[in-house]
Every structure is written in structure tokens, then in C-alpha cells.
Amino acid sequence: MSNYKSIFITLTPTNWSLGVNMSIDWTKMRRTLQAYRNRELVKTYVEKIHQMKRKIEAEVTSEPLKIMNFCGTHEFTVTYYGLRSLMPDGVELVAGPGCPVCVTPAREIDEAIEISYLAAVITYGDMYKVPGTKISLAEAKAAGGKVHVVYGFRDAVELASSQPDKDFVFFAVGFETTAPSVASYIVENKIPKNLYLLASYRITVPIMRYILESKMHKLHGIIAPGHVSTIVGASSWRFVPEEFNVPLVVAGFEPLDVIIAIYEIMQQIYERKPRLVNEYSRVVTWHGNLKAKSYISKAFDAVDGSWRGIGIVPQSVWRLNKEYSEIDARKKYGVNIEHAVDIKPGCKCAEVTLGLAKPTDCKYFGKACTPEHPIGPCMVSSEGACSIWFKYGGYESIKARSYS
């Protein structure tokens, strides 16, 4: 695999006080994108995948191979660039639970909706249309709720600071990637007095363990989330091959990244030597971003928590540390949602999130459920498998692009 190492570059996080500021050589970035979307390189590795599949069938196993691309952005790459159509028969790529707004429980969306009638709720665009038990934040705004959409937490801080006579609540959703910037403001005491936090973060490593321990389906390999791994480090996934004997590759998000990850997994299957490989070494280090992890550990406590349609996953949710309870929106507003419904009857979002069903297996897909009128959360976000399939599922061939 040494023939692709030469196109790796390094992007270095330099400042975590206000979030991620990347020191980037844009000329190298441009060349990297060209390389990782190079049609001929992709074709070369696709042929290697087909050759390896034949060797596996002849010498290891003839059973179909199921590989989970954990991250929603990986699912976008796989679907948009038609990578499934390039796989040999007997190699199935399934989506995983790597869409944060898809797994945010309806109960917590309902909390944000209830608070929106008492204070101004700020959140990300992806969360705006995600349905709670009955309505979304967008519908709550139409009904008189106060809801603002921002790009990042810094925007929320600036909005609250500009209107000190009003109370604001930031609906903090996401994985390990979005939590550090918020945590840094908390720890450094830079949050305005009129801004509170409705923490709804999910942690990806525990859900990975949950899927494997539950034995809900047999996975032959996992493509681990690259963005999350920049924070937690590649070492966080060691338990997958060591405890569950499943090959795992931390991969980037360009077509060649994913194709190389698939080839590496199949090579491990053939060799019968499951291991952890960091394909995304141009960004991901072994230990991750230590400063970001330090902020998170100081600001939040990991607790057992619910994932939408999945259930309680041990130590998989971050809640505010008691030291910062004065900014906890749940304590300030005393919200109490007695009944919530995560998945409406007939919706298959839970199964799609766990890789147990395809979006097209759902009777609502593309009919009653569309991005404009979503029934389930997987149809809303750009990282939701149903939304991705609705927009790009017809792409049959690879669409590798080049830059002039």
C-alpha cells in the first residue's frame, strides 16, 4: 500500500480556544483533492478489490462481506460517487449511525421546542427541520416559538452578546467534532450570562461498541469516522480488532480514501489478521487532539443516554459537569417531557441508522417522506442516509471530478 502514501499531507490544528483553526497550505490541499478524486487511481484500487474478493472466495470464505461506513459523510461519498456500483458481487456497504441529528432523541428536540416558547433557542441548520414527537423547531417557530439558526457556537455567543436583555439557549447537538468548541467557551468562562446550554451530545465510540456487542448483524469490516477521529485519535478504535476480531480502517472522505479503506479491510480478511489502520494519517493522529479532549473532559460528564430509535447506550451521552450547572437550560427552565415518540409507525430510520435496512426498504421513502416533508430524522440532514439516497441514490457510476 506504499504507492499512495506519497499523496498524504498534514493539516495541523493550531488553536482550540475558539474552535478549530487549521493551518493549511491551500496549494497542497488542491493537489490532494485532485489525487484523491483521480479516476485512474480509483480504477486501480477497484480492480485490486475485485482480485482480492476472488482470492477471499477461493481461500477464506464464500459468504457475502458486509462493511459498515460508520460516518454520514462516508455514506455521502459512497452514494454520490456511485462506489457501491463498483463493488464486486458479495461486497455490501452499509451505512452506520454517524449522523448526529438522526440519533438525537425526540424527547430532547421536544425539550428545545418547549423552551423556544420561553426563550430564544439557537441551533444548527441540520437540526431545524428534524421532527420531534409531533413537530420540528421550524414548525415551532411558525407557531410562535423563537428559533435562530447559526453556523457555529461562536455565532450563538455573538448573538446573545448583542442582545444582553434577552435569554438564549443553545441546543448543542453533535458528536466529538462539535463539542470541543463549546467546551472551550465553557471552561474559559467566555459564555455570556444570558446564554444557556441544552446539551445533547452523543459519543461515537460507545455506539460502535454497542453495535458489535449486540451482534445484531455480522460485520466483516468497519470504516471509522475520520472527523471524529481527529479529536479522539485513531487509538480509540483499537478495541474493534482486538476485542471483536473485526478489521477497522480510519478513512478520509474522498472517493479514493474510501476505496483504499475497503481494499485494506478485504486484505485483512484474506490474511485473517484484523487490525487497526489509519488511512487518514494526513489529518488523524494516534492520540487525537489532546487539548480538545481536555476541554471536553472538564466541561462534560459521560452518562448513559438514549439514541433515537436505538435505546439506552452506556456512557454515550455528554451532559454538563455540575460545576457549570448555572448554564444548564434543563435546570433553568425545568422542562419535563413526559411522553416522546422517537420513530413513527412504519418508519425505518432506526434500522437504517444501524445498517439493518436500506432507505428504499421503507414504505415512506420518496413518497410520504421527503426532505421537504420528512417523517423520520434520516431524511433531514445532509449526513442522513435517507436524505443522501433521496438526492443521490440514482448515481450508478463513479463521478470522480478533476480540477483544472
Give the tens place of pLDDT for each residue, 55-75.
Answer: 999 999 999 999 999 999 999
> What is the overall mean pLDDT for the chain?
91
What's residue 94's pLDDT?
A: 96
**The pLDDT of residue 48 is above 50:** yes
Structure confidence at residue 28 as a pLDDT band (50, 70, 90): confident
What's residue 365's pLDDT?
A: 96
Which residues does 323 contact at the CB level (< 8 Å), separation at least 6? none
* Residue 3 or 193, more confident: 193
Tell me how far apart the alpha carbons of residues 87 and 82 are, in angstroms, rounded to a whole number: 10
**The pLDDT of residue 19 is above 50:** no
What's residue 12's pLDDT?
A: 32
Residue-wise pLDDT for 230-240, tens only, equals 999 999 999 99
**The pLDDT of residue 33 is above 70:** yes
**The pLDDT of residue 270 is above 70:** yes
Residue-wise pLDDT for 193-207, tens only, equals 999 999 999 999 999
Mean pLDDT of 97-125: 97
Which residues does 359 contact at the CB level (< 8 Å), separation at least 6? 348, 352, 365, 378, 385, 386, 389, 390, 393
Mean pLDDT of 169-189: 97
Q: How far is CA 151 from the centre of its chain?
A: 17
19-23, 35-39, 269-273, 372-376 — which is least confidently predicted? 19-23
CA distances from residue 23 to 12, 151, 283 in whole angstroms, order as listed: 6, 21, 11
**The pLDDT of residue 396 is above 70:** no
Mean pLDDT of 350-367: 95
Tell me how far apart the alpha carbons of residues 139 and 135 are, in angstroms, rounded to a whole number: 6
**DSSP state letters, 315-335:** EEEEEE-GGGGGGBHHHHH--
All CATH 3.40.50.11740 domain ranges in the chain, comma separated = 102-203+300-333
Closest CA relative to residue 277, chosen from 313, 259, 306, 250: 250
% of the chain exceeding 70 in pLDDT = 91
Mean pLDDT of 319-330: 97
**The pLDDT of residue 394 is above 60:** no
Mean pLDDT of 216-236: 96
**The pLDDT of residue 245 is above 80:** yes
Mean pLDDT of 206-217: 95
**The pLDDT of residue 7 is above 60:** no
R_g of the chain, CA atoms, integer Å: 21
Structure confidence at residue 24 as a pLDDT band (50, 70, 90): low
**The pLDDT of residue 21 is above 70:** no
What's residue 23's pLDDT?
A: 58
Tell me how far apart the alpha carbons of residues 98 and 332 are, in angstroms, rounded to a whole number: 31
How many angstroms separate the first and last alpha carbons of the chain? 28
How many other CB atoms are found less than 10 A from the CB of residue 155?
15
**The pLDDT of residue 4 is above 60:** no
CA distances from residue 223 to 103, 107, 249, 250, 259 in whole angstroms, order as listed: 19, 30, 5, 6, 10
Mean pLDDT of 298-308: 98
| CATH number for region 102-203+300-333 | 3.40.50.11740
* Torsional class of 168: left (φ above 0), alpha (ψ -120 to 50), beta (otherwise): beta
